[in-house]
Amino acid sequence: MRHPEFEAKIDDYLLGRLDEEDAGRFENHYFDCPECFRLTAERAALQAAVKSAGPAITSPGSAVEARRDRSKTRFAQNPFRWAAAGAMVLGLAAVVLFWPRPGPEPVVLTRNGSDVIRGESLTLITPLGAIPKAPGKFAWNPVAGAAEYTIVVEGVDPTWTVTTRDLFIEVSGENEARFVPGKSYAWQVKAFTTQGIRLATSVKTAFHINR
Amino acid sequence: MTRPPGDLDLDEIAVRFRPIIGLKVRRALGWRCPDWEDVTNEVLAQAIAKIRGGEFRGDSSIGTYIYTITSRRIVDYIRDKAKTPYPFPSGTDAPLISDRFAEEERLAELTAAVIGLPPKYREVLDLYYYRELSREETARRIGLTPAQVSERVHYAQKLLRKNLRQAGFPFLPGSDD
């Protein structure tokens, strides 16, 4: 059974463009719908292959032709068979998206406030969800090659923007007072190289301070 | 769909939900996180134990039940990690060499198939997936509507599936495309 309204969101889900609530609904759906999960896993594999192809996807050259010829032979003579459905898809997506590899240069992204352009994903650690009091720090996982990170916290007035070379910022003093019990906030982190090239952008994530 | 708890095949549940749980876990924790497989196994083990122990009463679908367990475990994992927010030492996130080799072989096959697509499909895939432009920006750059961009991606996927099937190579491992 097809679910067009779900299928329309597959790309946004995989590219981290859905907000938390929508992403949660999306995930809940594919936990119940094998066909929609299959489409999502297939699309993830397609994205991984496109990223692996890199700039060569629009200008197939000698290196690409050689690789294609080699793979055509492999297709005809030695098709792979795998035991676990989905496990290799996830693995290959991880390899191509987040593993150092030879081949085409990684996508070079420019610092542009209006574009949401991503390379790797950037995972936020804390604060997440409902928390008992104002966060003591904002922390995230590193991105390979990043020299600095810019964090934007929304919901405070004015919006709080900090650039740091660390993987966290501490909240103290007057900044701590900006977080009020009973309110929700959202934050997002972007990673940049020393030249100001954006490498990754996290999903914008919300948290709520309990009363 | 909701099924009576007594009618559940636990082996079938394990096989069916492992990749589904894995996708959600990896997306939540980051694809580089080396703990994803452990977290996935923990979720599956917990879900099976709860079902076997009669805790699943069929009030929701089995998918929703397992989704809830997965979400909670992810939150717990992230909270635990927040106590030590520094990254793993480099080199500890390497998959098994044999897995990596197999994954790379698999990826090479798919990549070659993508590069073999007609130019109009490759153009859209480049803008939409490689450069990660929005659907609207992709459409603007190549003179299509956003709906046409989605259609072209969809047909690229269909064509890829067909080409791979003709080569005796399923799009997804374990599928019978």
- Chain A residues in contact with B107 (beta carbon < 8 A): 48-49, 52, 92, 95-96
Percent of chain A scoring above 90 in pLDDT: 18
pLDDT tens, residue by residue, A85-117 = 455 566 556 555 554 444 433 343 333 333 333
pLDDT tens, residue by residue, B159-176 = 988 888 887 777 766 555
- Among A211, A94, A199, which residue's Cα sits nearest to residue A148? A199
CB–CB contact A90 B26 (8 Å): yes
Phi, psi of B13 (to 5 degrees): -65, -45
pLDDT of residue A60: 60
pLDDT of residue A186: 84
- For chain A positions 98-157, those within 8 Å of chain B (CB to CB) are 98-99, 107, 115-118, 120-121, 123, 125-126, 128-129, 137, 139-142
pLDDT tens, residue by residue, A164-179 = 999 999 998 888 888 9
- Which of B19, B63, B104 is opposite residue A86, by nearest beta carbon? B19
Q: CB contacts < 8 Å between A and B, how many? A: 234
Mean pLDDT of chain A: 74
- Chain A residues in contact with B116 (beta carbon < 8 A): 68, 72
CB–CB contact A58 B123 (8 Å): yes
Would you say the ipTM is above 0.90?
no
CB–CB contact B107 A48 (8 Å): yes
pLDDT of residue B151: 92
- For chain A positions 30-89, those within 8 Å of chain B (CB to CB) are 30-34, 37-38, 40-58, 60, 64, 67-68, 70-72, 74-76, 79-89
| Chain B closest-CA separation from residue A207 CA (Å) | 12
Q: Which two tokens stand for residue B139?
A: 């459409």
Percent of chain B scoring above 70 in pLDDT: 78
In A56-159, beta strands by DSSP E: 124-126, 129-131, 137-140, 148-154
pLDDT of residue A95: 53
pLDDT of residue A174: 84
Determine the average pLDDT of the residues in B46-65.
Answer: 91
Banded pLDDT at B8 (limits 50, 70, 90):
confident
pLDDT at A67 over 80: no
Q: Which chain A residue lies closest to B127 (C-alpha atoms)?
A: A58
pLDDT tens, residue by residue, B113-161 = 899 899 999 999 999 988 888 889 999 999 999 999 999 999 999 998 8
Structure-token match 């990223």, residue found: A51
> What angle do the packed helices A34-53 and B10-29 form, to 10 degrees?
40
- Which of B75, B106, B116 is opposite residue A80, by nearest beta carbon? B106
| Chain B closest-CA separation from residue A142 CA (Å) | 7
pLDDT of residue A199: 74
- Chosen for mutation from B31, B62, B157 (greatest number of chain A CBs closer than 10 Å) is B31
| Structure-model confidence comparison of residues A83 and A195, the more confident one | A195
- Chain B residues in contact with A56 (beta carbon < 8 A): 115
Domain with CATH 1.10.10.10 in chain B: 97-166
pLDDT of residue A80: 44
Percent of chain A scoring above 70 in pLDDT: 68
- Which of B18, B82, B173 is opposite residue A125, by nearest beta carbon? B82
> Rg of the Cα trace of chain A?
20
Mean pLDDT of chain B: 81
pLDDT of residue A74: 44
pLDDT of residue B46: 92
- Chain B residues in contact with A68 (beta carbon < 8 A): 112, 115-116
Q: What does the alpha-carbon distance between residue A67 and residue B108 come to, in Å, rounded to a whole number?
A: 8
Regarding the domain delimited by B97-166, which CATH topology (the fold level of the hierarchy) does it fall under? Arc Repressor Mutant, subunit A (1.10.10)
pLDDT of residue B5: 60
- Of A103-117, A130-144, B27-41, B108-122, least confident by mean pLDDT is A103-117
Banded pLDDT at B97 (limits 50, 70, 90):
very low
Q: Which amino acid, one-letter code, is at A91? A: G
pLDDT of residue B37: 84
Question: B6, exposed or middle or buried, with CB in 10 Å at 0-12, 13-18, 19+?
Answer: exposed
Determine the average pLDDT of the residues in B16-39.
Answer: 85
Banded pLDDT at A197 (limits 50, 70, 90):
low
- Chosen for mutation from A43, A51, A90, A149 (greatest number of chain B CBs closer than 10 Å) is A90
Q: Which residues contact A113 (CB under 8 A, 6 or more apart)?
A: none
Q: Which CATH class is domain B5-82?
A: mainly alpha
Adjacent-strand bridge partners of A205: A187
Q: Could you count the other beta carbons within 10 Å of the beta carbon of residue B76?
A: 12
Domain with CATH 1.10.1740 in chain B: 5-82
HEC profile of B127-168: HHHHCCCCHHHHHHHHCCCHHHHHHHHHHHHHHHHHHHHHCC
Q: Does A196 touch chain B (CB under 8 A)?
A: no
Determine the average pLDDT of the residues in A158-169.
Answer: 88
pLDDT at A1 over 60: yes
CB–CB contact A86 B22 (8 Å): yes
Under 8 Å between Cβ of B56 and B62: yes
Q: Does A91 touch chain B (CB under 8 A)?
A: yes
Determine the average pLDDT of the residues in B95-117.
Answer: 69
CB–CB contact A32 B79 (8 Å): no
